[in-house]
Amino acid sequence: MKAILFDFGGTIDTDGVHWNEMFREYYDRHHLRIEKAAFDRAFVASERAVLAEPGIAAMDFRQLLTRQFTIQFGLLGLAGQEGLAERMAGECYDDVADTVAASRDLLGAFAKRYRLGVVSNFYGNLGPVCRGLGLDGLFGVLVDSAVEGIRKPDPAIFALALERLEVDAPEAWVVGDSYERDIVPGKTLGCSTIWLKGRSWTTPADTAAADFTITSLGAMKSIVMP
């Protein structure tokens, strides 16, 4: 095996917590009680809206989170809460930075043995986000769906990363928290797959495409570096 392709959102940044759950956490912490269906609608709409933000391609993670919370606040009728969206974004960013810091040694060890890449349905700013988190030296390729015009679960986005790393599919691991978007296309291409099964808002009906299932990135070590 020569390469590891990682998902970013819900995988590297939160170690298995889906972003719907992640955002929700800060509303709960600040005692903002929002009905689940309304929150889910605002989450999906904010994900779509942020893609059209002016200047998105240069935003770092803190700026991105501030825009996402601010858009959600607007959709949830919370726009009058002065400064709260910024404060929640700051807390969220600090938690992400801690999670990434905890995984950095592990990723560094993998980088010594493998070519590493990220394949993400992102917003066009995967580069600035990874740089801001101190991850930029670890990955040989960052593939951002908004830059490439291909989105997961299309296997072509993984094929693009493999081509840029000059690795054939059977020589690569695909690691991600989404069974449908990461594991299924990875398996379709002929990669070996590691499903990070964390806290998610949905559960797949079958999981046969996952060669391994883990609940934290730390568990990868015994699989890819036995």
> Does 10 engage in binding with Mg ion (CB under 5 A)?
yes
**Which CB atom, from 70 or from 200, has the smaller least distance to Mg ion?**
200
**What burial class does residue 33 get, using C-beta atoms within 10 Å of its C-beta: 0-12 exposed, 13-18 middle, 19+ buried?**
exposed
Compute the distance between CA of residue 19 and CA of residue 10 in angstroms, rounded to an integer: 6
CB of 154 to Mg ion, least distance (A): 15
Task: Give the footprint of Mg ion on residues 158-177 (CB under 5 A).
Answer: 177
Compute the distance between CA of residue 34 and CA of residue 53 in angstroms, rounded to an integer: 25
> Does 47 engage in binding with Mg ion (CB under 5 A)?
no
**Which CB atom, from 38 or from 51, has the smaller least distance to Mg ion?**
51
> Does 9 engage in binding with Mg ion (CB under 5 A)?
yes
> Does 132 engage in binding with Mg ion (CB under 5 A)?
no
E strand intervals along the chain: 3-6, 115-120, 141-144, 172-176, 192-196, 212-214
Q: Which residue is nearest to Mg ion, using beta carbons?
A: 10
Applying CB under 5 A, among 5, 7, 110, 159 the residue interacting with Mg ion is 7
* Pairing verdict, β 172-176 and 115-120: unpaired
| Cβ-based neighbour number of residue 214 at 10 Å | 19
The two tokens of residue 183 are 């594991």
Cβ contact 182:159 at 8 Å: no
> Does 13 engage in binding with Mg ion (CB under 5 A)?
no
Evaluate the CA torsion angle 185, 25, 91, 45 in order and state its sign.
positive
**Which CB atom, from 47 or from 177, has the smaller least distance to Mg ion?**
177
**Which CB atom, from 79 or from 156, has the smaller least distance to Mg ion?**
156
Task: Using CB under 5 A, count the residues that bind Mg ion.
Answer: 5
The pattern of x and - marking residues 170 through 209 that bind Mg ion according to CB under 5 A reads -------xx-------------------------------
Q: Write out the residues near Mg ion by the rule CB under 5 A.
A: 7, 9-10, 177-178
